Amino acid sequence: MQPKELLPHLFRTEYRKIVAVLCRLFGIEHVEIAEDIVSDTFLSATENWSLKGLPDNPTAWLYTVAKNKTKNYLKRDTIFKQKLSPEIKYTTDSTGEIEIDLSTKNIADSQLAMMFTVCNPAISDESQVALALNLLCGFGIQEITDAFLANKEVIYKRINRAKEKLKEAGIQIKQPTLNEIGNRLETVLTTIYLLFSEGYYSISQNITLRHDLCAEAMRLNYQLIENPATNTPAANALFALMCFHASRFEARTNDNGAMILYEDQDESLWDRDLINKGIYHLNQASTGTVITKYHLEAGIAYWHTIKEDTPEKWENILQLYNDLLILEYSPIAALNRTFALAKTNGKPAAIAEAEKLNLNSNHFYYSLLGNLYIDVDNQKALRHYQTAMELATSANDKATMQKNFEQLRKTLNNPG
């Protein structure tokens, strides 16, 4: 592999690890210094490897250079070193030389500490997600801008404001105590859930599915599961939910990126290994006495991995939606529930429930009504599909609504 091919991969996997270790050492107030050192390390790799070729162990080379650059920085900036002396003294060897610990364990501990620092209620949800992408996932400002289809300056300011708020609040990057885990894990899981949701249905880009965001959310979630202190039923339930959704990614969009409805998906494209992994973690989530929304949503997603249209399947999905709405009401969950209601109680009952929601600005609302009205009142179904097309904001969603509209119109014009 050539350096120009390997470096982007290493940047994605190693940048965040080294930044986490240095941030934990320096403190959140010096996060920019940590980022500069790591960026400079990769710049050195670009220059060195293009001239001399790849080293025998590229990752070890990066770690060694990052350590040396950190030590050189601390030697040059004695004032900065003195400010850090209470922390630094615990990371020196017998000669007094600063030791930058890039062991697997310290990297994992540092990333966990960073996760609980970034996912802090002192900053907004959108800022948590942006900062998580930046510091925990190694996404650059341009990548985050692309992910949210925002102005680059807006994202830059959002991330900087989030960092400033953490500094002002005096948040320390440290291993969370059991009490802090109990108080803050819900916020961490929410941030991961939001990150996955943005990838699962990207409202910020003109595409339906963003595999990179979903993969990063799953990676962060799995880090929680690997740590005994954060390996909770809720963390397992969220991971199970993401496994079930991710298992159908290949069948969920066509070659043009347009969404393929559940009933039209090719089951042979579903990833059975991910489904089995989801089942394993859903079983792991069944301990304890607390049921979270992740448990219920994972249960709904599990039943969707069974393609057979059985009464048992839809009755279970309907009951899970009922429980979810009692636990945490959401108009979208209520809307999705009506599809299960149609399967169990018939379309008229589902239409009556759906129309109570009055989600008049939501194109999925009209798309669902269009589906429910087929063979009940086909002219109404056409009008609802037409409204759905008008309200859809992404080209792919518009294409999906257009396809539904054209198929129904063709059927009505050619009843034989």
User: What are the residue ranges spanned by the domains of the chain?
Assistant: 24-102, 103-231, 359-416
> Who wins on pLDDT, 36 or 145?
36
Q: What confidence tens digit (pLDDT) does each residue in 287-303 have? A: 988 999 999 999 999 99
**Section 168-183 average pLDDT:** 86
> Who wins on pLDDT, 168 or 202?
168
Confidence of residue 239 (pLDDT cuts 50, 70, 90): very high
User: Buried (b) or exposed (e) across 313-338, using 16+ Cβ within 10 A?
Assistant: bbebbbebbebbeeeeeeeebbbbbb
Whether 202 shows a pLDDT value over 80: the answer reads no
Whether 19 shows a pLDDT value over 70: the answer reads yes
CA-closest candidate to residue 374, choices 338, 340, 407, 330: 407
Residue 124: per-residue pLDDT: 85
Single pTM value for the model:
0.83
> Who wins on pLDDT, 258 or 75?
75
Angle between helices 178-200 and 233-246 (to 10 degrees): 10
Mean pLDDT lowest for which of 110-114, 148-152, 250-254, 369-373? 148-152
**Section 358-383 average pLDDT:** 92
**Section 150-169 average pLDDT:** 88
